A = this chain, B = another copy of it.
């Protein structure tokens, strides 16, 4: 046998054992419905490699990755071009996770992957809220006639958890009708206190990386100027630390659009900090 030492190519700081882990990181390389630029299918594998450029210790939360107790389960394989079958696969695997008494941490892929995650989670939890970081409302009913679109994912989720359980942060783009939906349902949050109404509830956190400013996250499908800084995003994470988080995902990194590799590095750190509060 070889004496090594060998580089580890799973996520830095993971628990290699599924059974004893609390959180299951699941790669979801699906990007079939994106309206502008695709390529988020390559995100889970590039994020995994980039994780080794980080430290295991987060000075923000004074905590090490191994204290999080998460397992990197790898990346699902999807039937390309078949949106419905792909979503079904996600739902089934996420259900497996919750059946085993664990929580999911999805790595997209595009934002539509959140829908089957929420469908699965809703079988196990009846009353929970979704905290949604994004540049875009994602509140369309359909896009060019298609119901299953990353532009519609939160609208579909709202039908599962109730519009009053949707809280949206970083939003700066959408159709007039979508902004009216936000106003009517009071979903848009600008300050921490706007999350009051869901305090005490279980929450699922979904982070579309384009919530970050285009300067910080050029490697994404639909970059939108005027976004959050990294420290603002982490500020929200600090606030959310006291919530009971029953699942999370980080989506929409398109690594090939940022040849500098920096978008991938930032996505990886977002994931580390979000793990810290779970």
The verdict on A158 contacting chain B, using a C-beta distance below 8 Å, is no
**A residues at B contact (CB < 8 Å):** 1-7, 9, 18, 24, 26-27, 29, 31-39, 41-42, 45, 49, 53-57, 59-60, 62, 64, 73-83, 85, 89, 92-93, 96-97, 100, 112, 143-146, 148-149, 171-176, 179, 213-216, 218-219, 222-226, 229-231, 234, 256-262, 265-266, 269-270
- A81–B54 Cα distance when bound, in Å, is 19
- A154–B230 Cα distance when bound, in Å, is 26
- Whether the pair A83, B81 counts as a contact (CB closer than 8 A) is yes
With A37-B39, A261-B37 already in contact, the answer to whether A76 and B6 are too (CB < 8 A) is: yes
Chain B nearest Cβ from A100, distance in angstroms? 7
- CB neighbours (8 Å) of A258 from chain B are 218, 260
- CB neighbours (8 Å) of A96 from chain B are 1-3
- A214–B261 Cα distance when bound, in Å, is 10
- A73–B5 Cα distance when bound, in Å, is 11
